[in-house]
């Protein structure tokens, strides 16, 4: 039986022998401590020193015995809170030891032991708030689903019913041909259900319902994304290019068959050498007045059409973009319908089709290359809404500039830049549903002596997923707004809406890339298995940041549009322009940017949506004005404008992002205003707060550099983000359930109950 002094040392002995973070140095510390205590007699010292004899470590059994002794002492005195208290209890509150409490405290420090922390090792069970946090829904899930679906609920539910049928069971073969055929079969079922032709005019079998078409794209995206893209190529890019770039004769001739998938087709714009800079396409369409035909030709290998969906296997025709040549003169890029295959699937003379082969994702889509060797098509095959050739063989167009005509044509196809981010966001919703449900169930580690804790209770896991959940909700409402603006567009709004669509496409698909990346990592090894679908979601959406316009190029376009609008309002930001600008922005410049506002850190202020909105607006306006000023000063320094824009690219991206974030937050808050259900409103409000503060946090170096906020405030925001993550965690699973993703689509075993 050990005596009271030995007993007092027991916790320290136990810790140095058991904790894998302690090394031999600690033994030296203990050794000199023991030797230097004058109140311990030599015999006792000798006994104590035996405990730390490196050549004679305690046996495993002894270590267990020590621990039991200590744990018993802890259990006996529930009021005990620190290691020192335990040591005193073990020493029977020996008054001499009590007297030397400071020395023991110092020893603890010297050993690097945090007494209160180490104390936990000896508690028999632990009741921590980290352990006790859990899912509890505080709103009605069905009501929130209704809010998300809005007026498109019927078509959304119809699509969900179709894609939940047994025929839509995911293809698991790794054989690309098998996969492509399965996707084609699925497209046929959707065509049979009249879901493909939804946007076409009634007289050609459609419904004239663009809103419905977008809802179909979005809902299909809970299923296989190859299906979505194949579907979008056929009914969107191919069909809608015929509908909007062609005239009545084209619609009458093709649209019904496109809608039923009797006539599979392609959208052949991109060439190997020209992807982003499509104005530079090199395929030619040479007009021959004698025969009333065009000759479509690929001048060299790198002018071949590339990445063309539906080309490698199924496409029978294509909308081909080519430079129109009349009498040796170049009339810019126009669109033509060109047959590729007969209806037995045989490639036609002059057409050479290559297969893009295996891709990172979307392997159910048959992307291919197309080359034309002097392929002759009738004059009527020119899609002639914006330009035509008259009976005399002369070029005619209501739009005199070739560039402007081409961009007007592209502008009519802006719907693709709405469908794509809406599809991407569905993929993010699937990913978050899987990762959050898994995080709620997966347990790993826990307090010493307690059971393991759901990983979603860990702050860092919340930090990884909760802001992304909030952003997903925010983007949902942002995309609803974009869709509504597009559907109700007026002539004079078109350029604004085109820029908004370009920006939303870039912002959302980048966000989705990051969301799915985080979901993959948050699910660990399980997230790497194909059965849990995050791999497919991630790889399939990976190209969303590139196609329908490379995101970087689009963001620069958005910035240029914003600059153009800005310049029209304030001129070149000369002296007068700056004054106008400051006056217009007086609320942020004067009211907000003062020492009291920049330091305000109260909870109420931090959660106040007016603070969020003003901060976002201030950033939007300031980045824009700064970019304009910078461009002006570069050009004033006689830099070529092209070089000046190049030098400022980094700033221009910021202009685009700040603009989009302001719009998204604004639309999220606007949507919340119209919510009547209090519980839903409260939950959405919390998400909007998290979205706002998480973006401010992400941009905090900008706010600090600008002087809009001081360090005390950005630090308070970080804490508030943590707090909101913690609170939303309880609602996280119900918030993913509100997406109402069909179980037949979600399927990931780790997300199933």
Binders of a copy of itself in range 720-749 (CB under 8 A): 722
388 binds a copy of itself (CB under 8 A): no
Residue 460: CB minimum distance to a copy of itself, A: 4
Nearest to 111 by CA among 8, 49, 4, 21: 21
If the CB atoms of residues 392 and 650 are measured against a copy of itself, the closer one turns out to be 650
* Ordered alpha helix ranges (H), 193-263: 210-220, 225-231, 239-245, 248-250, 256-259
DSSP label at 389?
Answer: E
The residue (of 397 and 689) whose beta carbon lies closer to a copy of itself is 397
Rounded Cα–Cα distance for residues 309 and 239 (Å): 13
571 near a copy of itself, judged by CB under 8 A: yes
- 519-548 residues in contact with a copy of itself (CB under 8 A) are 520-521, 524-525, 527-531, 534-535, 538-539, 542-543, 545-547
- Judged by CB under 8 A, the chain residues 270 through 289 that form the site for a copy of itself are 270, 273-277, 280
CB of 338 to a copy of itself, least distance (A): 21
H helices present in 37-121, as ranges: 42-51, 60-76, 83-90, 95-99, 101-110, 115-119
Nearer to a copy of itself, 109 or 374 (CB): 109
Q: Does 568 bind a copy of itself (CB under 8 A)?
A: yes
In the complex with a copy of itself, the residue whose CB is nearer, 110 or 677, is 110
Instruction: Show contacts with a copy of itself in window 99-118 (CB under 8 A).
Output: 106, 109-114, 116-118
Please identify which residue in 197, 397, 423, 483 interacts with a copy of itself, judged by CB under 8 A.
Answer: 397
Do 159 and 219 contact (CB within 8 A), yes or no?
A: yes
Which residue in the set 644, 660, 663, 751 belongs to the binding site for a copy of itself (CB under 8 A)?
A: 644
- Cα angle 460-423-537, degrees, rounded to a multiple of 5: 50
* Minimum CB distance to a copy of itself, residue 102 (Å): 11
Binding mask 348-387 for a copy of itself (x = CB under 8 A): --------xxxxxx--------------------------
65 binds a copy of itself, rule: CB under 8 A? no
CB 675 → a copy of itself: shortest distance, Å?
Answer: 31
Query: Which of 489, 560, 593, 609 lies at the binding interface for a copy of itself (CB under 8 A)?
Result: 560
137-196: which residues touch a copy of itself (CB under 8 A)?
172, 174-176
β-strands 368-372, 317-326 pairing: unpaired
Beta carbon of residue 255, minimum distance to a copy of itself (angstroms, whole number): 28
* Contact call for residue 601 and a copy of itself (CB under 8 A): no
- Rounded CA gap, 149 and 80, in Å? 55
Query: Which of these segments, 2-10, 458-466, 584-592, 594-602, binds a copy of itself (CB under 8 A)?
Result: 458-466
Helices 4-18 and 101-110: angle between axes, nearest 10 degrees: 10
Q: Closest CB to a copy of itself among 280 and 345?
A: 280
Contacts (CB under 8 A) with a copy of itself, residues 310-349: 331
- The count of other CB atoms within 10 Å of the CB of residue 608 is 15
- By CB under 8 A, which span of 93-101, 187-195, 482-490, 641-649 interacts with a copy of itself? 641-649
**Using an 8 Å Cβ cutoff, are 353 and 316 in contact?**
no
CB of 525 to a copy of itself, least distance (A): 5
Q: Which is nearer to a copy of itself, 152 or 384 (CB)?
A: 384
Q: How far is the CB of 701 from a copy of itself (least distance, A)?
A: 4
Q: Contact region for a copy of itself (CB under 8 A) — 52-60, 217-225, 429-437, 667-675?
A: 52-60
Does residue 77 interact with a copy of itself by CB under 8 A?
no
Residues 317 and 54: their CA atoms lie apart, in Å, by 83
**Shortest Å, Cβ 130 to a copy of itself:** 5
Please list every residue from 677 through 706 that binds a copy of itself, using CB under 8 A. Answer: 700-701, 704-706
437-473 in b/e burial notation, b at 16+ Cβ within 10 A?
Answer: bbbbebeeebbeebeebbbbbbeebbbbbbbbbbbbb
Number of residues this chain uses to bind a copy of itself (CB under 8 A): 137
**CA-to-CA distance for 348 and 316, rounded, in angstroms?**
9
Estimate to the nearest angstrom the gap between the alpha carbon of 34 and the chain centroid: 59
Name which of 335, 323, 339 is nearest 254 in CA terms.
339
Nearest distance from residue 106's CB to a copy of itself, in Å? 8
If the CB atoms of residues 92 and 528 are measured against a copy of itself, the closer one turns out to be 528
Burial of 667 (0-12, 13-18, 19+ CB in 10 A): buried
Nearest alpha carbon to residue 434 among 556, 536, 509, 307: 536
Exposed e or buried b for every residue in 86-101, given b needs 16+ CB within 10 A? Answer: bbbbbbeebeebeebe
Which segments within 394-490 are labelled E, that is strand? 395-396
Q: Does 31 bind a copy of itself (CB under 8 A)?
A: no
Question: Is the Cβ of residue 162 or residue 335 nearer to a copy of itself in the bound state?
Answer: 335
The answer to whether 208 contacts a copy of itself (rule: CB under 8 A) is: no
In whole angstroms, give the CA distance from residue 683 to residue 225.
Answer: 30
| b/e 672-711 (16+ beta carbons within 10 angstroms → b) | beebeeeebbebbbbbbbbbbbbbbeebbebbeebebbbe
User: Judged by CB under 8 A, which of 601, 649, 682, 744 binds a copy of itself?
Assistant: 649
Interface residue with a copy of itself among 154, 327, 452, 584 (CB under 8 A) is 452
Residue 601 carries which DSSP code?
-
Closest to 533 measured CA to CA, from 157, 171, 135, 168: 171
CB 747 within 8 A of CB 533: yes
Long-range CB contact pairs, 570-578, < 8 A, 24+: 570/625, 570/628, 572/628, 572/632, 573/625, 573/628, 573/629, 573/632
Binding mask 471-500 for a copy of itself (x = CB under 8 A): ---------------------x--x-----
Tell the smallest beta-carbon distance from residue 41 to a copy of itself (Å).
Answer: 28
Single out the residue of 12, 281, 556, 745 in contact with a copy of itself (rule: CB under 8 A): 556
């Amino acid at each position: 039986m050990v005596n009271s002094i030995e007993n007092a040392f027991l916790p320290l002995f136990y810790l140095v022998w058991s904790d894998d973070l302690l090394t031999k140095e600690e033994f030296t510390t203990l050794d000199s401590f023991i030797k230097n205590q004058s109140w311990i007699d030599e015999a006792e010292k000798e006994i104590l020193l035996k405990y730390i004899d490196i050549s004679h470590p305690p046996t495993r059994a002894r270590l267990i015995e020590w621990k039991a002794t200590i744990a018993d002492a802890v259990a006996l005195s529930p009021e005990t809170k620190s290691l020192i208290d335990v040591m005193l209890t073990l020493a029977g509150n020996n008054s001499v030891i009590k007297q030397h409490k400071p020395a023991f405290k110092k020893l603890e420090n010297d050993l690097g032991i945090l007494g209160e922390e180490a104390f936990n090792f000896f508690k028999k069970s632990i009741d921590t708030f980290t352990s006790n946090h859990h899912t509890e829904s505080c709103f009605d899930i069905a009501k929130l689903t209704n809010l998300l679906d809005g007026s498109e609920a019927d078509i959304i539910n119809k699509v969900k019913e179709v894609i939940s049928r047994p025929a839509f069971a995911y293809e698991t073969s790794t054989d690309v041909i098998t996969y492509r055929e399965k996707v084609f079969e699925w497209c046929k079922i959707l065509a049979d259900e009249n879901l493909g032709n939804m946007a076409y005019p009634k007289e050609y079998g459609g419904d004239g319902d663009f809103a419905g078409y977008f809802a179909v794209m979005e809902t299909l995206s809970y299923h296989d994304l190859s299906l979505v893209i194949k579907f979008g190529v056929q009914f969107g890019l191919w069909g809608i290019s015929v509908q909007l770039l062609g005239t009545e004769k084209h619609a009458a001739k093709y649209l019904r068959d496109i809608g039923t998938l009797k006539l599979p087709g392609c959208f052949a714009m991109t060439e190997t050498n020209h992807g982003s800079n499509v104005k530079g396409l090199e395929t030619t369409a040479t007009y021959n007045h004698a025969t009333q035909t065009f000759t479509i030709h690929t001048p060299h290998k790198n002018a071949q059409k590339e990445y063309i969906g539906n080309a490698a296997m199924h496409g029978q025709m294509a909308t081909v973009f080519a430079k129109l040549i009349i009498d040796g003169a170049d009339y810019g890029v126009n669109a033509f319908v060109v047959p590729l295959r007969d209806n037995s699937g045989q490639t036609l003379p002059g057409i050479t089709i290559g297969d893009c082969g295996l891709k990172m994702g979307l392997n159910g889509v048959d992307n291919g290359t197309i080359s034309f060797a002097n392929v002759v098509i009738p004059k009527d095959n020119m899609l002639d809404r914006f330009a035509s050739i008259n009976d005399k063989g002369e070029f005619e167009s209501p739009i005199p500039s070739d560039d402007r005509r081409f961009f007007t044509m592209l502008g009519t196809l802006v719907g693709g830049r709405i469908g794509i981010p809406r599809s991407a966001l569905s993929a993010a919703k699937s990913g978050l549903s899987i990762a959050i449900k898994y995080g709620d169930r997966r347990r790993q580690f826990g307090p010493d002596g307690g059971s393991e804790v759901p990983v979603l209770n860990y702050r860092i896991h919340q930090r990884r997923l909760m802001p992304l959940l909030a952003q997903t909700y925010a983007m949902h409402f942002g995309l609803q707004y974009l869709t509504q603006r597009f559907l109700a567009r007026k002539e004079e709004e078109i350029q604004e809406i085109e820029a908004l669509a370009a920006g939303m496409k870039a912002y959302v698909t980048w966000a989705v890339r990051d969301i799915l990346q985080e979901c993959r990592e948050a699910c660990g090894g399980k997230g790497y298995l194909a059965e849990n679908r995050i791999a497919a979601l991630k790889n399939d959406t990976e190209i969303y940041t590139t196609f329908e316009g490379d995101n970087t190029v689009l963001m620069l376009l958005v910035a240029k549009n914003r600059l153009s609008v800005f310049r029209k309002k304030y001129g070149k930001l000369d002296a007068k322009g700056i004054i106008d600008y400051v006056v217009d922005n007086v609320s942020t410049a004067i009211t907000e940017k003062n020492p009291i506002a920049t330091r305000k850190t109260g909870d109420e202020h931090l959660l106040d949506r007016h603070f969020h909105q003003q901060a976002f607006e201030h950033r939007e306006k300031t980045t824009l004005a700064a970019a304009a000023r910078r461009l002006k000063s570069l050009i004033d320094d006689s830099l070529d404008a092209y070089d000046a824009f190049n030098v400022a690219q980094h700033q221009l991206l910021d202009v685009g992002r700040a603009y989009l974030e302001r719009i998204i937050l604004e639309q999220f808050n606007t949507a919340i205003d119209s919510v009547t259900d209090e519980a839903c409103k409260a939950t959405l409000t919390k998400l909007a707060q998290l979205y706002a503060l998480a973006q401010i946090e992400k941009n905090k170096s900008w706010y600090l550099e600008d002087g809009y906020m001081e360090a005390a405030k950005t630090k308070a925001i970080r804490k508030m983000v943590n707090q909101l993550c913690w609170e939303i965690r309880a609602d996280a699973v119900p918030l993913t359930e509100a997406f109402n993703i069909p179980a037949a689509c979600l399927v990931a075993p780790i997300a199933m109950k």
